Structure 1
Amino acid sequence: MNDRGRKWKRFKAAAAVLGVVLLAGAAGVTVHLYRQRKAQEAEIAARQHSLEEPEQFLAENVIEYGGKKYRRNSYVKAILCIGVDRSGLGEKTTTGFGGQSDGLFLLAQDTARNTVKILMIPRDTMTRITLTDLSGNVLGKDVQHLTLAYAYGDGRELSCEYTEEAVSELLGGLTIDHYMAVDTDSISVLNDGVGGVTVTIEEPGLATRDPELKLGETVTLKGKQAETFVRYRDIHQDNTALFRMDRHQQYMEGFFAALKTKAAEDDSILIRLLDSIQDHMVTDMQKDQYLKAALDVLNTQQLGSGDFYTLPGSGVTTARYDEFYVDQEAMIPVILDLFYREIE
């Protein structure tokens, strides 16, 4: 056998060995992925077993609870406000690229009394959401983090609708009248539009993002500082998204206080602010509807702690993620207080 023949034989032998190694490696990866998938399926099954589907009795116009009858207050509108963790909501996206809902707030707008109350909903709430494939085809529902409901849509209206549907089901079938989603850019636009928002820094970690945000300091937030204050969370600590909601409340109280001050000097401030975020929001409301909602917030005597509610429940930490589980029994009186009225 000549040299060329021997080289070719050695090449084939080496190729065969390499092929065996690659096949073994692929088999190992396949087994690993299979085991990982089965573990995830078992985890999902365990969650579904432990998390019963919420009873949808709040979908009814008249309900009985605690020996009393309640009717949905038609004057109180439920408006779901969604803070999306991406910049720009102008164009639709494919599944998984539209961002997640980093902040969720349900406004109870009393159109008769011209007041607003706010129900804060933890983003890590575990509930049933709609799942889709990468082409947007609906696969069904599964118990997942509520924040992901937005990600399975188109980054615009469909994402809002999936989130609205998930929140409605979570809240016992409560009808949600409207939604409004805003992107991260809107935070600094609105913040600077009222001349900045004054807050007190109560967490040491904020200074790692901005040295001016020192623990114990009172700061008037400008520009991107507002986004940092609202969105910062230490991912190395447990349940920081849950504790961050205290910061959300402080910021909203400060924002509306600043807005009231501005409005006393300039009665067109609200219109200008809303016009300034037109390219940063998605809503199913007409302009006159969300302007009325904003006016009702402005007309609330003083937006304070009594106007904020937090969905009752408990936060837990798993090997992978933080999770929040709603206390369904404790939730019902909160929803009745916000959206229903007692009848004879």
Structure 2
Amino acid sequence: MNDRGRKWKRFKAAAAVLGVVLLAGAAGVTVHLYRQRKAQEAEIAARQHSLEEPEQFLAENVIEYGGKKYRRNSYVKAILCIGVDRSGLGEKTTTGFGGQSDGLFLLAQDTARNTVKILMIPRDTMTRITLTDLSGNVLGKDVQHLTLAYAYGDGRELSCEYTVEAVSELLGGLTIDHYMAVDTDSISVLNDGVGGVTVTIEEPGLATRDPELKLGETVTLKGKQAETFVRYRDIHQDNTALFRMDRHQQYMEGFFAALKTKAAEDDSILIRLLDSIQDHMVTDMQKDQYLKAALDVLNTQQLGSGDFYTLPGSGVTTARYDEFYVDQEAMIPVILDLFYREIE
């Protein structure tokens, strides 16, 4: 056999060995992933035996509380608004790549009185959420940060459904009628659509992101400044996501004040604003439904501190994460006030 033939024979032998190694490696990875998934399933199943399911007392038709009886007010719709911490919601994603819910607001839309009240829910709330593997197969439920419920879905409808399910269970089985999720790009679009939002800077750290956002200054936010104001938090400080909610409230009050001013001059502003974020949102509502909700917000005399509620509870700092635990007893009257009516 000549040298060329011997070289070709050695090459084929080496290629065969390499192929076997690659196949063995792939098989090893497959086995590892399979074992990892089974271990995850076993771990979750073991925890679920000791994990108490929250009492779903609000799933009943008639609620008895404090010696009185209540029934769900059919005129008040519960709409979960989700602010997702990523740009672009147009395409579905795999588990873990669809973003998290950075802001959670439950709207109580009174369709009879044409008013809206807003319940702010901390993103670090610890509650049961649906867990899946990387292929999207449901593994079970476990107590995790509420913000992660969105991440276990597809970055669109399924993520919203997992979040709605988690919030409903957290709130004692309260039926949530609709959802709307928006991405980070929508913030500046809406902000500039009303001509900017005027706020007062009450935290020194914002200036590290934008030198114009100095402590004590009153600023009309433009463009990306709005996203900075709404989303900034100092991750080196404890419970900053919780304290950031004061900023969320200030921004929403300022936004709706600016919107009312614009609407007095231009009665088509609301439709144009909603059309401008069509590519930045996911919702299970028809256009006429979310337009009606927006009109009810606009018709609220003056969206102020009396229209905002915060889910009662306490923040805890662990070695790794901030956590928020809801005060279930204090939560009940808040939910009854927002979504129920007293009956005889």
TM-score under structure 2 normalisation?
Answer: 0.87
Gaps of at least 5 residues in structure 1 are none
Partners of 1:337 and 1:66 in 2: CA distance = 13
Q: CA deviation digits over 1:111-134, x for unaligned, max 9?
A: 000000000000000000000011
Q: CA deviation digits over 1:145-167, x for unaligned, max 9?
A: 00000000000000000000000
Q: Which moves more between the two structures, 10-19 or 93-102?
A: 10-19
Partners of 2:316 and 2:121 in 1: CA distance = 15
Contact 2:62-2:71 at 8 Å conserved across structures: yes
Q: CA deviation digits over 1:19-44, x for unaligned, max 9?
A: 99999999999999999999999999
Contact 2:41-2:140 at 8 Å conserved across structures: no
Please list, as runs of the form range in 1=range in 2, the aligned pairs for 1:38-77 lying within 5 A after superposition. Answer: 52-77=52-77
Partners of 1:324 and 1:283 in 2: CA distance = 27
Contact 1:48-1:143 at 8 Å conserved across structures: no
- Is 1:225 the equivalent of 2:191? no
> CA 1:328–1:46 in structure 2 vs 1: closer, same or farther (change >3 Å)?
farther
Matched length: 344
Sequence identity of aligned pairs in percent? 100
| Cα deviation, residue 60, structure 1 | 1.5
Contact 1:81-1:106 at 8 Å conserved across structures: yes
Contact 1:54-1:328 at 8 Å conserved across structures: no
> CA 1:49–1:195 in structure 2 vs 1: closer, same or farther (change >3 Å)?
farther
> CA 1:179–1:35 in structure 2 vs 1: closer, same or farther (change >3 Å)?
closer
| Cα deviation, residue 17, structure 1 | 22
Per the alignment, residue 337 of structure 1 pairs with 337
| Cα deviation, residue 61, structure 1 | 2.1
Give SS of 1:238's match.
coil
Contact 2:104-2:122 at 8 Å conserved across structures: yes
| Cα deviation, residue 71, structure 1 | 0.5
| Cα deviation, residue 329, structure 1 | 0.5
> CA 1:309–1:48 in structure 2 vs 1: closer, same or farther (change >3 Å)?
farther
> CA 1:342–1:12 in structure 2 vs 1: closer, same or farther (change >3 Å)?
same
Per the alignment, residue 185 of structure 2 pairs with 185
CA RMSD, aligned part only? 4.2
Contact 1:47-1:143 at 8 Å conserved across structures: no
| Cα deviation, residue 11, structure 1 | 21
> CA 1:267–1:234 in structure 2 vs 1: closer, same or farther (change >3 Å)?
same
> CA 1:223–1:5 in structure 2 vs 1: closer, same or farther (change >3 Å)?
closer
| Cα deviation, residue 257, structure 1 | 0.2
Per the alignment, residue 273 of structure 2 pairs with 273
Give SS of 2:6's match.
helix
> CA 1:265–1:5 in structure 2 vs 1: closer, same or farther (change >3 Å)?
closer
Partners of 1:244 and 1:28 in 2: CA distance = 46
Contact 1:62-1:70 at 8 Å conserved across structures: yes
Partners of 1:4 and 1:183 in 2: CA distance = 62
| Cα deviation, residue 301, structure 1 | 0.3
| Cα deviation, residue 53, structure 1 | 2.9
Q: CA deviation digits over 1:155-188, x for unaligned, max 9?
A: 0000000000000000000000000000000000
Contact 2:88-2:185 at 8 Å conserved across structures: yes
TM-score under structure 1 normalisation?
Answer: 0.87
| Cα deviation, residue 295, structure 1 | 0.2
> CA 1:19–1:225 in structure 2 vs 1: closer, same or farther (change >3 Å)?
same
Partners of 2:179 and 2:48 in 1: CA distance = 28
> CA 1:50–1:315 in structure 2 vs 1: closer, same or farther (change >3 Å)?
farther
Partners of 1:298 and 1:129 in 2: CA distance = 33
Partners of 1:43 and 1:240 in 2: CA distance = 31
Partners of 2:156 and 2:124 in 1: CA distance = 21
Partners of 1:234 and 1:50 in 2: CA distance = 35
Q: CA deviation digits over 1:234-293, x for unaligned, max 9?
A: 000000000000000000000000000000000000000000000000000000000000
> CA 1:25–1:175 in structure 2 vs 1: closer, same or farther (change >3 Å)?
closer
Partners of 1:61 and 1:35 in 2: CA distance = 44
Gaps of at least 5 residues in structure 2 are none
Contact 2:41-2:139 at 8 Å conserved across structures: no
Contact 1:73-1:339 at 8 Å conserved across structures: yes
Q: Which moves more between the two structures, 220-229 or 27-36?
A: 27-36
> CA 1:114–1:22 in structure 2 vs 1: closer, same or farther (change >3 Å)?
closer
Contact 2:263-2:269 at 8 Å conserved across structures: yes
| Cα deviation, residue 229, structure 1 | 0.1
> CA 1:8–1:176 in structure 2 vs 1: closer, same or farther (change >3 Å)?
closer
> CA 1:144–1:6 in structure 2 vs 1: closer, same or farther (change >3 Å)?
same
Give SS of 1:166's match.
helix
Partners of 1:324 and 1:50 in 2: CA distance = 21
Contact 1:199-1:254 at 8 Å conserved across structures: yes
| Cα deviation, residue 52, structure 1 | 4.4
